[in-house]
Structure formats: C-alpha cells, structure tokens
Structure 1
Amino acid sequence: MPKLLIIDGSSMLSTSYYGNLPKSILFAKTEEEKEKYYEQILHTSDGKYTNAMFTMLRTLLGIYKKVKPEYVAFVFDKTRDTFRRTELGADFYKANRKETAKPLKEQFIQMEEFLQEIGCAVFMSDDYEADDYAASLVEKFEGPDLQTYVLTKDHDYFQVVSEYTRMWRVVNKDKLEQLKKDYGFFGSDVYESLPANVFEYTPEIVYAEEGVYPQQIPVLLAITGDPGDGIPGCKGVSSAAAPLVDEYKSLDEIYAAIDDCEGVAKKEKELNGFWKEYLGIGRSPLKALKTNREMVYLSEKLATMKRDIEISCGIEDLKLRVDIEKLKEELGRYEMFSLIKEVENL
C-alpha cells in the first residue's frame, strides 16, 4: 500500500538546530552571551548558517532509505500571529516563547526554499500553523487505500491519529525503550522498520498513554492546558481531566452535567460523589470548572487543529519526485559535500 508521510518541518528543523549547537552556546546564560559564539555554528564560507539544515537533511535521507514513502508533504510554521491570535483574540497564545534565534530563523527560510527548489511539497501561510496544515492534509487524503503517517515530536498531534493515520513521534532513547516495553505486542520487526528514535502511535496507544482517544485530545487540552503553547486550560484540574473527558467525551456534556445541578449544593455534592466513586476523582474540579468556563472553551478552540484548510492539490501533486541533480546542486551551494556522497549512493 502506498504511503503518505507528512513531516512537521518546523519541529524537525528546531530539534536539529538545538541538537547541533556548540557547547559554548548551549551553556551560555544570556542571549547576549550566546550571540558572541554564533560564529562557531556550522556555516558556509560566505556565512550562511547550516547546522540545522545539515542535521535535518541527513535525517531525511535516513528516513527515505528506511521508509521510501511514495508521497511526502512538509508543513511549516510561518508566524505566531495566526488566526488563533487574530480571530480568536488570544494574544497570550505562544506569547511565553522566546524570540527565534537569528541563526535558526535564517535557516527556516533557507530550508523551506531548499525543499521547494528540489521539488518537494511545502505548506505554510500567515494564517495557519504547521499542525493545521497537517490535520487538513490528513482530512483530505487519509483512507483505506493509503497509509498516512505524521512525523513530529509534538504531543498535540495525537488528535490526528485514526484507523488510517499513525503518528510517528520523535522521542528520546529512554522514552522509546519504555514505549517498546509497554506496547511491544507489535514485534521487533515493526520497530526496526521505523525511522530512528520514532515510535508509532495508534488510537489504542494514544488512549493508553493519555487516557482519552485521539478525537478527545483537544477537549483534554482544554482542561489541562498546554504550557508549551501558552494554552491556559483550567488551573488545578489536570489530574481529573482525563477521567472527565473519557466519561463525557465533550466540554458540552461535562458542563451539561454541571448545569443540571442548577447551583444547588445537594445536587453538586451528588455529582462530586459520582465523580469520586465512579471516575476515581479525589479532589473535586467542580468549582474550578465553573469559574473558568469561558477560558476552558477558548482553550479548546486553541488546541483544536483546523481540518478544513483548502488544499487545492491532489495526491499525485505530493508524489516524491526529487530532482537529484538539483538536490546535489543545492547541497553543493550549502557546502554539504558529505551529503552529496550519500545522495550518490542512494
């Protein structure tokens, strides 16, 4: 069966950047101190930074050798001022993140142009994030005649996992070994066929790890929040979130149960009793959920990937048709001569 591989380019490039930095920068305490050592970052003779690009391209070559997907799409973030800020009014969304370092910012532009130059499909815009494009691509193309995989390290992608779509999550060695131990029923041959440091998530494994199925992940994040993205959620309710979402499936149903109490103390006590006895919730989340209702609903909107971005291309437009000569030319332009040898040996 043909394979569609959707790659979170922003996640991969960022990971590649921080995984291939000089120790002088990694251990520097201030941004000013880090900037003093930028010249130590891998770069071309004319000063173009390449440490993240080199690592990502080497990773991609390894993935190609092992997986050989028929169709490939790259998704990138372009700005933090997407519809989540402009339309939903969530100015705080991702506001906790530091400004992207200059060497990485330049390599985002270089990498996106590099992929387009060699004939790869790249999706990004000012309005949507990489994960929105990934979800919309899944929505359009997944099905029984296509194996769809999404490669990323970000946990919010759990929501796209389905019968036809698997998440290939990049994890560290210890986490990978633990996951293999916990869910080793696939057999070692399956793990050996995956890219390095990647674990394949099915809907059942998402449920085992998160306590809810993929389609309820945005509801879960609406309550737990997501500190990495600055999604507030409902403070003090994180431990009760999974059993609540697993039981009620949606925020509307959770709040319907709360509203049925009509603010009557006796009814609320009965509801708390049900949650404690049947859902195993010790500390009642009732007051927090009532207080933070508006923010919880906004958090759900922030956590939900858009699945309806117009994707004008067809599946054949995602066919992996890399121009090898152009690839070698671009690698030479960035002075990645060792990778040219790898390409010649494919």
Structure 2
Amino acid sequence: MPGPLLLLDVPWLLYRAHFALPSSIAGADGEPIGALLGTVRTILLEVQELDPVAVVCATGAEEAVHRTALLPAYHAHREPMPDALRRRWEQAPDLLRAFGWSVRDGGDLEADDVMATLARRHVEEDPDATAAIATADRDLLACVGERVVARRPPAKGQGPGFVTVDVDGVRELLGVEPGQVTDLIALRGDPSDGIPGAPGIGAKTAARLLAAHGDLEGVLRAAGAPGPDGEPGGAPVHGDGLTPRLAAVLREHAAEVRRDREVARLVEADVEPVAPGTTDREGGAAAAEALGMTRLAAELRGEG
C-alpha cells in the first residue's frame, strides 16, 4: 500500500528551526541559515519515517485576510518576522522544489487551509488513500479522521522526531472528537493565534460542555443564548458543567464565540492537485550546497 500524502506546515517549520538552531550556523552569504537547514532535515526525517506517496510543502499568508477582517486581534500580538528569517523564508520555496517536493501557496489564505484542503481531497478521491499533516497548530486536529493523522512534536521524553496523532490521540490531547476541535477553540480560545474565546472558559470546561451538548450551537442553546439568526433563546439548562455563571457568560458573548468559530474554521484553498513523486536527493544536495549547507549536501550524496 502506498504511503500517505505528507503535508508540511512550512511557516511553522521555518520559525521553529530559526529559533532552535544557533545563529552561528551561517550560509554562503554569511547570514544565519538554521531556518532552512532545520526545515529540510525535519522533512527528510518525515520522508524516511513515512515513505510518503508525495510531499507537499504548504505556505501562505502569515494571517488570512478574512480572519483579520473578522478579528483584528488575530495574530496581532506576534512580533514582526526577523529580517534574517524573512530572507530564508523567501529562499525556501526554490530549495524545497529542488528536492522534488511540491510547494503549494494559499495566497490570501494560510498554510493551514492549504493542508486541510489537500488532505481532504486526497482521501475523498481514493478510498485507500491516507494523509499525514505535520504541524503543531491545534486547528488542524480538526482534519484528523480514519485516514488522516497529524504529526506533531513529541512530548518531553518521547525522543526525537514527530509522533502520530490519530482520532484517539485527539481525544487524549483535547478531550473532544476531531469534529469538535473548531468549536473547542471558539469556546476556550487560542492564545497562540490571538483568539480570545469565552471569558473564564478553559480547555477542560469547554471539552465537558461539548461532550454534553454536541457542538457550539448546542452549548449556546443550553445556555439560553439567542440563536445565530437572532431568534430568542430558551431557558438555560444547567448541569454537565454549565453553571449559571457560565451560562450568563455565554449568553453575553454568544456573538463573539460564533465569530471565533469562523476565525478558527479551516476553509477551502484554491490550490493545484499534487502528483505522486519521490525525493530528489541529488537535486536537493546541489541546491543546499549553493546556499552554503555543505554538510547537508554531503550527507545527501552519501559522503558524510
């Protein structure tokens, strides 16, 4: 059976590697090159581990236009991209293509939307196909299913490389089903993205409410909140973690949590399909060498 379609969150990989590797690791231009080096090494490890049918390197906007229109605070707390990283960011697509990997850019959408779109299409088009999404972003756990897994950094002490998170893994991590992840983010928020959520509702409470009431609209109905079209709410149904105080909070902030659900929701990206392909180690070695990553180039050629 062919391996999964491997989809990688390139912006996350670049940021992760840039801050993890010493700035003393310089490229041919004398500037830090850890972002590219770490990203490529991570992808090569994933290729070795999963033997994918194809590799997709997803890129896109730092924040999608429609998300900042809905929530101006979305990503607003993040520091500007360092100049040293931006240079490597611009070089990354050509380097990744040199390895024979497909690069797909979301335009005004984010890499997350690209990965969600291509993973869904891949498994819908072939009943035997599988996909693996490599990212640390919580929102992409909504994509996990019978034939789609996430690949995430391990917990402390689990060793190098990424670990696979399947449906049971989502339940263990977040306490909800994959189909409830977007609603969980709407209720509890996501500080890494600047999504506020409902005041005073943390991860465990949000998961308990969703377990009791099914989805965000079910939680809001139980709280007595007005419906999405403005129809009056009913009497609150307390219990299963929905206290009178939380019900009042949800009634007051119903519009905001519905907005946050739309901010967190992954949307369809207009991207080209991906054909099966293999890793071109020689092409990657030549590109790596040109950028000054000579040790990596030697390893790719079997010389290191």
- Give TM-score, length-normalised by structure 1: 0.78
Q: Match for residue 327 of structure 1? A: 284
1:213, distance to aligned residue in structure 2 (A) = 0.2
Q: Which has the larger radius of gyration?
A: 1
Q: Match for residue 272 of structure 2? A: 312
Q: Match for residue 250 of structure 1? A: 215
Whether 1:64 aligns to 2:47 is yes
- Secondary structure at the counterpart of residue 229 of structure 1: coil
Q: Match for residue 143 of structure 2? A: 160
Distance 1:325 1:204, change over 3 A: closer
For the 8 Å contact 1:82–1:129, the answer to whether it is kept is no
Matches for 1:23-172 after TM superposition, within 5 Å: 41-86=24-69, 88=70, 90-143=71-124, 144-172=127-155
Distance 1:322 1:204, change over 3 A: closer
1:167, distance to aligned residue in structure 2 (A) = 0.7
Distance 1:147 1:125, change over 3 A: closer
Corresponding letter in the other structure for 2:296: L
Q: Match for residue 183 of structure 1? A: none
- Secondary structure at the counterpart of residue 73 of structure 1: strand
Whether 1:18 aligns to 2:19 is yes
Q: Match for residue 192 of structure 2? A: 228
- Secondary structure at the counterpart of residue 43 of structure 1: coil
Q: Match for residue 197 of structure 1? A: 161
Whether 1:7 aligns to 2:4 is no
Distance 1:51 1:208, change over 3 A: closer
Q: Match for residue 173 of structure 1? A: 156
For the 8 Å contact 1:133–1:309, the answer to whether it is kept is yes
For the 8 Å contact 1:12–1:56, the answer to whether it is kept is yes
For the 8 Å contact 2:45–2:161, the answer to whether it is kept is no
Count the aligned residue pairs: 294
Q: Match for residue 229 of structure 2? A: none
Distance in 2 between the 1:173 and 1:212 partners? 23
Corresponding letter in the other structure for 1:240: T
Query: Which ranges in structure 1 are unaligned for 5 or more consecutive residues?
Result: 23-40, 178-195
- Secondary structure at the counterpart of residue 131 of structure 2: strand
1:57, distance to aligned residue in structure 2 (A) = 1.6
The sequence identity of aligned pairs, in percent, is 24
Distance in 2 between the 1:303 and 1:251 partners? 13
Distance in 1 between the 2:178 and 2:123 partners? 15
For the 8 Å contact 1:16–1:53, the answer to whether it is kept is yes
For the 8 Å contact 2:221–2:233, the answer to whether it is kept is no
Q: Match for residue 241 of structure 1? A: 206
1:60, distance to aligned residue in structure 2 (A) = 2.3
Distance 1:322 1:203, change over 3 A: closer
- String of CA shifts for 1:74-105, please: whole Å, max 9, x gaps: 1123332532124x3x2111101111111111
Distance 1:290 1:260, change over 3 A: closer
Distance 1:63 1:208, change over 3 A: closer
For the 8 Å contact 2:186–2:258, the answer to whether it is kept is yes
Distance in 2 between the 1:145 and 1:330 partners? 35
- String of CA shifts for 1:320-345, please: whole Å, max 9, x gaps: 34444432221111121211222122
Corresponding letter in the other structure for 1:152: T
Whether 1:339 aligns to 2:291 is no
1:168, distance to aligned residue in structure 2 (A) = 1.0
Distance in 2 between the 1:263 and 1:123 partners? 44
Distance in 2 between the 1:229 and 1:68 partners? 32
- Secondary structure at the counterpart of residue 240 of structure 1: helix
- Secondary structure at the counterpart of residue 14 of structure 1: helix
1:311, distance to aligned residue in structure 2 (A) = 3.4
Worse overlay, 228-237 or 60-69: 60-69
Query: Which ranges in structure 2 are unaligned for 5 or more consecutive residues?
Result: 227-231
- Secondary structure at the counterpart of residue 103 of structure 2: strand
Distance in 2 between the 1:121 and 1:67 partners? 17
- Secondary structure at the counterpart of residue 8 of structure 2: strand
For the 8 Å contact 1:234–1:296, the answer to whether it is kept is yes
Matches for 1:272-287 after TM superposition, within 5 Å: 272=238, 275=239, 279-280=240-241, 284-287=245-248
1:48, distance to aligned residue in structure 2 (A) = 4.2
